[in-house]
Amino acid sequence: MSNYTAPVRDMLFVMNELAGLDAVGTLPGYEEASADLAEAILEEAGRFAGEVIAPLNVIGDREGSRLIDGKVVPPTGFADAYRQFVDGGWGAVASEIDHGGQGLPQLLAKPVTEMWNSANLSFALCPMLTQGALEALEHHGSDELKAVYLSKLATGEWTGTMNLTEPQAGSDLAAVRTKAVPEGDHYRISGNKIFITWGEHDMTDNIVHLVLARLPDAPEGVKGISLFVVPKYLVNADGSLGLRNDVQCVSLEHKMGIHGSPTAVLAFGEKDGAIGYLVGEPNRGLEYMFTMMNHARLGVGLEGVAISERAYQQARDYARDRVQGKAIGQRAAGAIIKHPDVRRMLMLMKSQTEAMRALAYVTAAYMDQAARHPDPVQRAYYQARVDLLTPVVKGWSTETAQEVTSLGVQVHGGMGFIEETGAAQHMRDARIITIYEGTTGIQANDLLGRKTVREEGKTLQALIEEIRADVARVAELEGEAFRQIAAGLEEALRVLEATASHLIATAANDMPLAFSGAVPYLMQLGIVCGGWQMARAACIAKARLDAGDDVAFHQAKIVSAQFYATHVLPRAQAHAHAALHGGQATLALDESAF
């Protein structure tokens, strides 16, 4: 079994030095977001994550959520921990103040969210989905709906769900068949939804389902989908709970991981039709869902950071404790961390986790700037960055988490394969994150199509120029580490530009050919952006070191960046090669020849 200690020092370094917490603190409404407040919140959240939520992670895996007589029973301890979570105000961290939230900037909320995910991914999914439902209502709900639901969701007193997928539809929402028939001020909803995370449980009095469905006269395809609120219990005019709505959990999925989180099949309207309320205008449901999905995608990218951190901590602790054999170059038997290859694996885990965290937090700060910057030109600039980087943070971080959690098992040797050790759970849990909220392929299509080709690489080019300027600063520093970092990034940027130009040009003539390189392009961009953040960190660490500040911490930052530049960054070139030269072979084979 493993412990979790929130990496507060590392988080604060990224927030303060890389993501510009001070700049975020100058934005209207975020004036209180100081480094001191950040530290205080992170320390407190870290304690709660480590002491209350983390110990339930293994229990959740073993017991799973169970469906008993139509009711979902979460694993032992989850309901109590959730109550503490809400009572402690943790459900409200990022919610707007006027709905009872704390109104913190994303740059402060995201590190806290990372902690919940590290501590217990299954548990953390519940507030994550609640946040998604909250946002959809905040942005698109009527005042009446807001009055009934917002503050309950903002505090976490009620939880929320997102109901998109149907058995026949998968990622293709055009195929949604759930029906909504108008009846007075509400609608009667009927249909089946699958893969509904925390779709049913007894941890709160009510659950607020957000459901995609079709009105009787709706057009075919994605333009005929509307969004509805369907509460588990109807809410009376005085705010008290009324009748049980006609929505039932008919089964739970038996999954590879995140056993603690119930993944429900929900049946709406098996009796008279579930009562639902239209959110916003008819037939705009998909658009509304995407508002919230984009934010959720960044959240899932953060899950990649979080579970990588957890796997790293466990592998590191094991490698320090486990005495076995005489490592090459050592005179006596010692802990396996002395073996060069164990160090290599731990460095791969550590450096990539740091790179992912940095890019995720930097993107969170861009979100804050995009939302609150007084200058609309700046807001647009930052929004474009967020749009470009969201699929990268989601796709690259979740794919990288597959490697990191698998390395966590490998560091444990045979013990890693034994479930009691806990290393395997992180790998099993992580396996869903490249899939839900849009697979890596879907992220890559979004990145290449909407975020690159459509605007002919404009936002990307600006980003590349900014990275290039940062690399020039690194190149001025003395020492082998900085030489390797600068040289690696210069070459990687050159090839990234070439790849983007090639794919943009190809897309004009042959869309399938261009999009066969979408995932390699996404991975390339993610690796380069990660290297960029590592280079910035090394630069800052050098300045701190020169000032004699926290020597061990800042030296480690430089080593980590150097390792990333020599072990990880070269992979960007391999991805580029596939994107530049591999399309023909990808598409050449006749389907029958597979």
How far apart (Å, rounded) are the C-alpha atoms in residues 564 and 356? 12
How far apart (Å, rounded) are the C-alpha atoms in residues 305 and 56? 20
Q: Which of 22, 43, 98, 172 is close enough to bind a second copy by CB under 8 A?
A: 172
Residue 484 neighbours by CB distance under 10 Å: 18
Which strand (E) or helix (H) includes residue 570? Answer: helix 570-581
DSSP structure class, residue 92: G
Position 364, amino acid: A
> Which structure tokens are listed for 529?
């952006």
Q: Single out the segment in contact with a second copy by CB under 8 A; choices: 39-47, 212-220, 415-423, 453-461.
A: 415-423
CA-based nearest residue to 300, from 196, 366, 396, 428 = 396
CA-based nearest residue to 389, from 351, 346, 427, 359 = 359
Task: Tell me the closest approach of the beta carbon of residue 381 to a second copy, in angstroms.
Answer: 29
Q: Using the minimum distance from each CB to a second copy, give the nearer residue, 160 or 257.
A: 257
Q: Which of 79, 169, 371, 475 is close enough to bind a second copy by CB under 8 A?
A: 169
Q: Single out the segment in contact with a second copy by CB under 8 A; choices: 52-60, 142-150, 417-425, 537-545.
A: 417-425
Q: Using the minimum distance from each CB to a second copy, give the nearer residue, 103 or 520.
A: 520
Question: Cα dist. 283→136, 219, 278, 291, 433 in Å?
Answer: 15, 8, 10, 15, 29
Task: Enumerate residues 3-32 that contact a second copy by CB under 8 A.
Answer: none
Does position 566 interact with a second copy (CB under 8 A)? The reply is yes
Q: Single out the segment in contact with a second copy by CB under 8 A; choices: 196-204, 231-239, 458-466, 548-556.
A: 548-556
How far apart (Å, rounded) are the C-alpha atoms in residues 578 and 566? 20
Q: Using the minimum distance from each CB to a second copy, give the nearer residue, 247 or 481.
A: 481
Select which of 44, 437, 466, 497 is catalytic. Answer: 437
How far apart (Å, rounded) are the C-alpha atoms in residues 268 and 468? 53
Q: Using the minimum distance from each CB to a second copy, give the nearer residue, 361 or 515.
A: 515
Binding-site size, a second copy (CB under 8 A): 103
Q: Using the minimum distance from each CB to a second copy, give the nearer residue, 103 or 422.
A: 422
Task: Tell me the closest approach of the beta carbon of residue 290 to a second copy, in angstroms.
Answer: 16
Contact 541, 550 (CB under 8 A): no
DSSP string, 26-85: TSTT-TT--HHHHHHHHHHHHHHIIIIITTHHHHHHHH--EEETTEEEPPTTHHHHHHHH
Task: Tell me the closest approach of the beta carbon of residue 76 to a second copy, in angstroms.
Answer: 19
Q: Using the minimum distance from each CB to a second copy, give the nearer residue, 242 or 512.
A: 512
Q: Using the minimum distance from each CB to a second copy, give the nearer residue, 409 or 525.
A: 409
Does position 563 interact with a second copy (CB under 8 A)? The reply is yes
> Which structure tokens are listed for 524?
């390339």
DSSP structure class, residue 25: T
Position 524, amino acid: Q
Does 437 qualify as catalytic in the annotation? yes
Q: Using the minimum distance from each CB to a second copy, give the nearer residue, 375 or 480.
A: 480
Task: Tell me the closest approach of the beta carbon of residue 263 to a second copy, in angstroms.
Answer: 8
Task: Enumerate residues 276-335 that contact a second copy by CB under 8 A.
Answer: 316, 319-320, 322, 324-329, 333
Q: Using the minimum distance from each CB to a second copy, give the nearer residue, 250 or 415.
A: 415
CA distance between the termini of the chain: 43
Task: Enumerate residues 225-284 that contact a second copy by CB under 8 A.
Answer: 253-257
Task: Tell me the closest approach of the beta carbon of residue 471 to a second copy, in angstroms.
Answer: 17
Task: Enumerate residues 418-457 that contact a second copy by CB under 8 A.
Answer: 418-420, 424, 427-428, 431-432, 434-436, 439-441, 444-445
How far apart (Å, rounded) are the C-alpha atoms in residues 137 and 160? 11
Binding pattern for the stretch 357-396 against a second copy, x by CB under 8 A and - elsewhere: ----------------------------------------
CA-based nearest residue to 462, from 519, 433, 500, 510 = 500
Q: Single out the segment in contact with a second copy by CB under 8 A; choices: 73-81, 93-101, 210-218, 403-411.
A: 403-411
How far apart (Å, rounded) are the C-alpha atoms in residues 391 and 419? 33
Q: Parallel, antiparallel, or unpaired: how do β-strands 71-73 and 159-163 relate?
A: unpaired
> Which structure tokens are listed for 456?
């002919």
Task: Enumerate residues 116-155 that contact a second copy by CB under 8 A.
Answer: none
Phi, then psi, of 252 in degrees rounded to 5? -115, 145
Length of the chain: 594
Task: Enumerate residues 504-523 that contact a second copy by CB under 8 A.
Answer: 510-513, 515-516, 518-520
Task: Tell me the closest approach of the beta carbon of residue 586 to a second copy, in angstroms.
Answer: 5
Does position 501 interact with a second copy (CB under 8 A)? The reply is no
Task: Enumerate residues 450-489 that contact a second copy by CB under 8 A.
Answer: 480-481, 484
Residues that are catalytic: 437
